[in-house]
Amino acid sequence: MKPTVGCAACRDGEPLPFAFTMAFQPIIDLSASRVWGYEALVRGTSGESAGAILAQVNDETQYRFDQAARVKAIELAGQLFPRGEDVRLSINFMPNAVYEPNACIRASLEAARRVGFPHRQIMFEFTENERSRDIEHLKRIVAAYRRQGFLTALDDFGAGFAGLSLLANFQPDLIKIDMDVLRGLDADARRRTIVAGIVGIAQSLDIAVLAEGIETADELDTVRSLGVSLVQGYHFARPLIETLPAVTVIALPRAA
């Protein structure tokens, strides 16, 4: 359902009752052998996990948290990202915390202008797992963000039950295949068939595909052979708090 609290709730300036920051993990473009972007991941200021922070977010604070998380990610990107390079910032957001898309995006735009980060290099991710039944509201959010020049991504594709339904209703720029679907697919023909199907659907709809959670060279070789060029996971780098990690490997497929 659409939030019952207006956008004033996420702009009232009242501090959150907990502290948080962001860690960054690179997204690799295998076709260009370069870092395509970084995903901003919520962490506690003492290294607490995203789950520990999100457990403190409730109906009263989700609007303020969603806004504060976006701004924090953009501010850190403005400090850390290389200037003048086409490196994207990927931010997770809560559709249920967006009351009116054009109004709720203002703080993000203002933060990008303030730190000199090109807003067209920002991608907003939402997950099919979030309990949002208002498809029309999601469609308005995606349409509004794309009009502003932002990229949009459907995260954790394949982890829930709504992925294909969401694709039938609107088109993000990118889908991220859930790591549970990808785990061990190099030795699992069923998983390879599923991933090949997702890639085929995405190509037909002109949607980019990202494989997340890549942990082994065999997984990397397999997703690349299936036509996936954007990848993310521990095989390349672990997230680091308020730091851009060094990428340990951007590899071509190994020789057969």
Q: What is the pLDDT of residues 206-253, one digit of tens each?
A: 999 999 999 999 999 999 999 999 999 999 999 999 999 998 766 554
Q: Is 47 left (phi over 0), alpha (psi -120 to 50) or beta?
A: left
Q: How far is CA 127 from CA 91, 121, 246, in A?
A: 11, 20, 27
Task: Identify the weakest region by mean pLDDT among 24-38, 65-79, 89-103.
Answer: 89-103
Can you list the pairs that 69-73 forms with residues at least 24 positions away whose Cβ atoms lie under 8 Å?
69/20, 69/22, 69/40, 69/42, 69/93, 70/107, 70/108, 70/111, 71/107, 71/108, 71/111, 72/20, 72/21, 72/22, 72/40, 73/22, 73/40
- The percent of residues above 70 in pLDDT, for the chain, comes to 88
- pLDDT at position 4 is 42
User: Residue ranges of the domains in the chain?
Assistant: 7-241
Structure tokens at 133: 């039944």
pTM of the model: 0.89
Cα separation of 158 and 129, whole Å? 10
Instruction: State which of 93-102, 156-165, 167-176 shows the largest mean pLDDT.
Output: 167-176
Residue at token pair 């959150």: 16
User: Is the pLDDT higher at 139 or at 96?
Assistant: 139
**Which amino acid is located at 101 in the chain?**
P
Mean pLDDT, the chain, as a whole number? 87
Residue pLDDT, tens place only, 142-154: 888 989 999 999 9
- Check whether domain 7-241 has CATH 3.90.550.10, yes or no: no
Secondary structure letter of residue 217 according to DSSP: H
Secondary structure letter of residue 156 according to DSSP: E
Residue pLDDT, tens place only, 179-216: 999 999 999 999 999 999 999 999 999 999 999 999 99
